[in-house]
Structure 1
């Protein structure tokens, strides 16, 4: 069974990933050319923001004193700076953005799966939230380009 500190670390990692993806997909939605892709990117950004808030709420239900790092990561900030430069130079195509969306979606799904396995059964609401996240990832994966392993 995981300790409260370990559970907080697991959830913090997921919250950070969701916050990074929220920022990334919002940024991508600005440079996407296709209205459909813009909408998809905004929807993914919104879902990741929702998931982040949901995880924080559920964790705080069990561990009200848990300290979470809710900001984006430095790696994400640097990556987004590079993406902004590429976009301003016109180097990102919608196809590139779709590939990136698919890859990030796949990576996040794996992270959710790992977190689900690591969490014990002492926090059923948190487990249920992760089950919802995993189900969403599975459902959405059918509508995204395949990720090359």
Structure 2
């Protein structure tokens, strides 16, 4: 009955209730719970409220731990990678943190294509992120190996 209440709250128009419902559902780490999350998660990842998008991104890490196959089948990993281009820096930092965590256990450790656009976006966001967000982003970028000295210089600048 409680799960049904949380599922109903995923359609609630208030963004805080929506974020709390998704967050609470992902805390119940049972395989069956992922069946209830496969519908609201894509909507939450594209919600207009940054708090809802950030919460959905964080939820992705726990859902991946429970059911990695569902994440890949439903295209959630691609949606998570799309959050790198988000306008809200807290969403970007949390998406990077989750991608880093998933990359550690994922077969394809290069989930996010670190192209010049993504790198510039992440480097630009460093100035306005929280300290924790900066750590996530810098840790993630530390895995990037530029192809030539010119790109290395550009990143350092």
Q: TM-score, normalised by structure 1?
A: 0.29
Q: Say which structure, 1 or 2, has more relative contact order (CA 8 Å, 6+ apart).
A: 1
Q: TM-score, normalised by structure 2?
A: 0.28
